[in-house]
A and B are shown apart, each in its own frame.
Chain A
């Protein structure tokens, strides 16, 4: 029994509900939510260390032993993601606290952000497929509110699409769960894995797995990403950064979990489909990233390219490529948060959304400009920044698996990432300054600080690869050996 496992989910809920009572006091809202997430971050770090020491931890809710009750299972993969997302949330909340969007703060911005995090952390930690659905719903309901909070016309039109598409995919998810329960009679993920291994994944189960693939692809933005650029574009900066950093990653997490733990017996079907989808995603994302002049569109398509890239690792399906994916996932959570904060800040400072309308920002805001350069180098996978290790390992793993086309597409897409962002940098930051010193908007230190901390984290993650690599290796070890997870999640001692 490890009650500590529930804290990353429950603390944000409690704090969110308590903050409802302090509606008129924005200070309590801002700093209360940041404090909560700092505590959650420290707790997740502690759990991560404990997982490294003692192996997989488990908590049975209400002391109902698995497979009958709901369990939370913490392995290194889940805890790495919980820790990283809590860290990014702290910095996004810090940004929001200094952006001081009082209209939204009055309408419960922070409680809903905290509920979103509760859903995200719950989805990472749960060991039960139906509970995963519930955590998805908690996250999605909060995201529906955040999507439409503020009630701008653009938000409402994009919000309707976002809500409809997600309700549809939730319905598919529920359908898939029903099919799975009908065929296997259990929903505990470890137990499911055991039973699927016993029957050897017949075609019926493979078909069900493809239903799950569709559902999670919709959430992750794998091929089915048509909803993503529009909806991310409509959001205020801090919220869009959090969405870009976390929401698609939960879908990616679910894909990894289900296709390494549950449906891993027919890789020639499922993993080939995932590989093709990853390539289509990267190609489509690359075209999108260079097709627009609107910086928000460009960065939204960058999210999509990264999703394709991470899933190359899953499609190659060996230890090395999965290690690379985990590395890249952690990197991407940090750096996509950073990228969206940067782009949102540019729009806040200049009031322009197209990159050909502004130039020379680096003379107005030198530090800010250099942070943007670090962001784009990191995203492009240039050493010593954090993107490099992940790209290298994914590429190596895919070569080992003999997926040469996939490797080519993946690295070409990296060039497109670099090109699309360099275009923003050269046009907006380089060149003659278009804003006079006396007209420039003051960039508050708090907003700059959260960008700076994230930039330092991406440098630190790149340089400190040896610190992170044991965690990543352990996470990949559990993902590639389902028996370890089953042992940890089902044993009754």
Chain B
């Protein structure tokens, strides 16, 4: 029923993983360099969109059975709850903190609570972008 898009499908099978890795890289590098939750989330969702283009909606949905509206909701919830979490420690709303730890394998590693906030942002972006893409494709 479909036209012959074997090249697109073969390339995207590999490219999707490269894009996903790059998305995670952008997400993590956002702490000190360009990147962050929003950009990382956009890149991650572009991998999903590529899958939807290369294959069809039904088979991708069968492979990744996620309700993206709920992904977005969970993301927003995480972002707000990390903002509210600082209230428990007696700081102002949205306060963040970070510290360095000496881990056995990684050596000196920095942990920041802002990563939690950003992960919420990333999930929110992924959820919203894919929901928009899928609902537009349903209309056409």
Within 8 A of B (CB), among A375-427: none
Which B-chain residue is minimally distant from A72 (CB atoms)? B93
Chain B, range 63-85, C-beta contacts under 8 Å to A: 69-70, 73, 76-77, 80-81, 83-84
Q: Which residues of B contact A463 (CB under 8 A)?
A: none
Q: How far is the CA of A10 from the CA of B84 in the complex (A)?
A: 9
Does residue B112 face the partner (Cβ distance < 8 Å to A)?
no
User: How distant is the Cα of A14 from the Cα of B80 in the complex, in angstroms?
Assistant: 7
A6 within 8 A of B: yes
Tell whether A459 is near chain B: CB-to-CB under 8 Å.
no
In the complex, the answer to whether A6 meets B93 with C-beta atoms within 8 Å is yes
Q: Which of A31-72 contact B (CB under 8 A)?
A: 59-63
Question: Which residues of B sit under 8 angstroms from A20, Cβ to Cβ?
Answer: 69-70, 73
B95 contacts the other chain (Cβ, under 8 Å)? yes
B93 touches A10 (CB 8 A): yes
Query: In the assembly, what is the distance between CA of A394 and CA of B104, in Å?
Result: 72
Report if A61-B93 is in contact (Cβ < 8 Å); known contacts: A3-B87, A20-B70: yes
Closest to A6 in B: B93
Segment 52-110 of B: residues with Cβ below 8 Å from A = 69-70, 73, 76-77, 80-81, 83-84, 86-87, 91-96
**Interchain CB contact under 8 A, A62 and B70:** no
Distance in angstroms between the alpha carbons of A21 and B70 in the assembled complex = 7
Shortest CB distance B80–A (Å) = 6
A484 to B94, CA, bound (A): 27
Q: Which residue of B lies closest to A18 (CB)?
A: B77
Which residues in chain A, 50-102, are within 8 Å of chain B measured between CB atoms?
59-63
- Whether the Cβ atoms of B76 and A60 lie closer than 8 Å is no
Give complex CA distance A332, B77 in Å. Answer: 34
Residues of B within 8 A of A6 (CB): 93
A17 in contact with B80 (CB, 8 Å) = yes
Whether the Cβ atoms of B94 and A17 lie closer than 8 Å is: no
B19 to chain A, nearest CB (A): 28
Interface size class of A (residues with CB under 8 A): 10 to 19
Minimum CB distance partner of B93 in chain A: A6
B85 to chain A, nearest CB (A): 12
Given A18-B77, A20-B70: A10 in contact with B92 (beta carbons within 8 A): no
The residue of chain A having its C-beta at the shortest distance from the C-beta of B124 within the complex is: A17
Q: How many contacts between A and B, using CB within 8 angstroms?
A: 41
Residue A1 at the B interface, CB < 8 A?
A: yes
Chain A, residues 411-454, CB within 8 Å of chain B (1/0): the string is 00000000000000000000000000000000000000000000
Residue of B69, B80, B86, B91 near A10 (CB, 8 A) is: B80
Partner of A63, one of B77, B83, B87, B91: B91
The answer to the question of A238 belonging to the interface, with a C-beta cut-off of 8 Å to chain B, is no
Residues of B within 8 A of A60 (CB): 92
Q: Please give the distance in Å from B114's CB to the nearest CB on chain A.
A: 9
B84, A62: Cβ atoms closer than 8 Å: no
Are B80 and A63 neighbours in the complex by a CB distance under 8 Å?
A: no
Chain B residues, Cβ within 8 Å of A13: 76, 80
B92–A1 CB distance below 8 A: yes
Which A residues lie within 8 Å of B84 (CB)?
10, 14
- Chain B positions within 8 Å of A3 at CB level: 87, 92-93
Which residues of A, 208-231, contact B by the 8 Å Cβ criterion? none
Whether B94 lies near A62 (C-beta < 8 A) is: yes
* A111 to B, closest residue via Cβ: B73
Alpha-carbon distance A59/B69, docked complex (angstroms): 32
Are B73 and A17 in contact, with the CB atoms below 8 A?
A: yes
Partner of B92, one of A14, A18, A21, A61: A61
**Interface mask (A6-30 → B, CB under 8 Å = 1, otherwise 0):** 1000100110011011000000000
Shortest B108–chain A CB gap in Å is 25
Q: Given the complex, which residues of A lie within 8 Å of B81, measured CB to CB?
A: 14
In the bound complex, do residue B92 and residue A59 qualify as a contact, i.e. CB atoms below 8 Å apart? yes
Q: Is the CB–CB distance between A63 and B69 below 8 Å?
A: no
Give min CB distance, A291 to chain B, whole Å: 39
Residues from chain B with Cβ under 8 Å of A1 in the complex: 91-92
Q: What CA separation (Å) do A223 and B81 show in the bound complex? A: 42
Q: Are B83 and A21 in contact (CB under 8 A)?
A: no
Give B78's nearest chain A residue, CB to CB: A17
| Complex CA–CA separation, A1 to B96 (angstroms) | 15
A21 touches B95 (CB 8 A): no
The residues of B that contact A18 with a CB separation of less than 8 Å are: 77
- Distance of B2 from chain A, by nearest CB (Å): 31
- Residues from chain B with Cβ under 8 Å of A17 in the complex: 73, 76-77, 80
Which A residue sits closest to B91, measured CB to CB? A63
Enumerate B98-130 residues with CB–CB distance to A below 8 Å: none
> Is the Cβ of B73 less than 8 Å from the Cβ of A61?
no
Distance between A7 CB and nearest chain B CB, rounded to angstroms: 9
| Min C-beta distance of B137 to chain A, whole Å | 18
In the bound complex, CA of A6 to CA of B83 (Å): 11
| Complex interface bits, A136-158 against B, C-beta within 8 A gives 1, otherwise 0 | 00000000000000000000000
Contact A59 B77 (CB under 8 A): no
A14 proximity list for chain B (CB < 8 A): 77, 80-81, 84
Q: Whole-angstrom distance between the alpha carbons of A132 and B84 in the complex?
A: 21
A6-B93, A14-B80, A17-B73 are known; give 10 further A-B pairs, CB within 8 A: A3-B93, A10-B83, A17-B80, A20-B69, A21-B73, A61-B92, A61-B93, A62-B86, A62-B92, A63-B91
Interface residues of B (CB under 8 A from A): 69-70, 73, 76-77, 80-81, 83-84, 86-87, 91-96
Residues of A within 8 A of B (CB): 1, 3, 6, 10, 13-14, 17-18, 20-21, 59-63
14 example contacts (A-B, Cβ-Cβ < 8 A) are as follows A1-B91, A1-B92, A14-B77, A14-B80, A14-B84, A17-B77, A17-B80, A20-B73, A59-B93, A62-B86, A62-B93, A62-B95, A62-B96, A63-B95
**Closest 3 pairs between A and B when the two form their complex, measured CB to CB:** A20-B73, A62-B94, A6-B93
